[in-house]
Amino acid sequence: MFKNCLIIAASIILFACDSSEPASNSAHTESPEKTILDEHCRHCHVPPLPSAHSVDEWYNVVYRMQKHRLKRGLQTLTDEEFDLVVSYLKQRAEK
Ligand code: HEC
């Protein structure tokens, strides 16, 4: 009986350790912003990694993409979507 309790306690501790690991090592994490990025970049190309540009550059890159959207006759991102995408990319960009 005591041994069983130890095994259960050990598996709870192991489980707890496991769940404290990051979900993934990828530069992207699942979030509403990531969904927007997927939806709004895949029209034309694979969404870039946040590390592709620095914090200072992302605003201008995404702004340029708005112009590409206009040229293709796609609706531009709303101000809210634009800000979400830019802040998502900046937070994960190379510093
Ligand atoms: C309407 C089409 C279109 C959409 C939508 C689009 N892109 Fe682009 N993207 C382009 C084109 C065309 C190029 C190549 C010319 C250029 O760099 O401006 C490009 C190139 C890029 C590049 C590589 C050039 C560089 O400056 O590093 C990045 C990064 C990029 N896009 C980011 C994004 C992100 C982030 C989104 C989504 C928010 C997005 N794009 C959505 C058309 C698009």
Question: Does residue 14 have its Cβ closer than 6 Å to ligand 1?
Answer: no
CA 6, distance to chain mean position in Å, is: 40
Q: Which atom of ligand 1 is nearest to the CA of 48?
A: 29
Question: Does residue 67 have its Cβ closer than 6 Å to ligand 1?
Answer: no
The pLDDT of residue 34 is 82
The pLDDT of residue 37 is 86
- The size of the chain, in residues, is 95
pLDDT band at 12 (very low <50, low <70, confident <90, very high): very low
State pTM to two decimals.
0.77
The residues, any chain, with a CB within 8 Å of residue 73's CB and separated by 6 or more, are none
Minimum CA distance residue for ligand 1 atom 26: 61
What are the pLDDT digits (tens) for 29-82?
A: 778 778 888 888 998 999 999 999 999 999 999 999 999 999 999 999 999 999
The larger pLDDT score, comparing residue 72 to residue 23, is at: 72
* Contact present, 50 and 27 (Cβ < 8 Å): yes
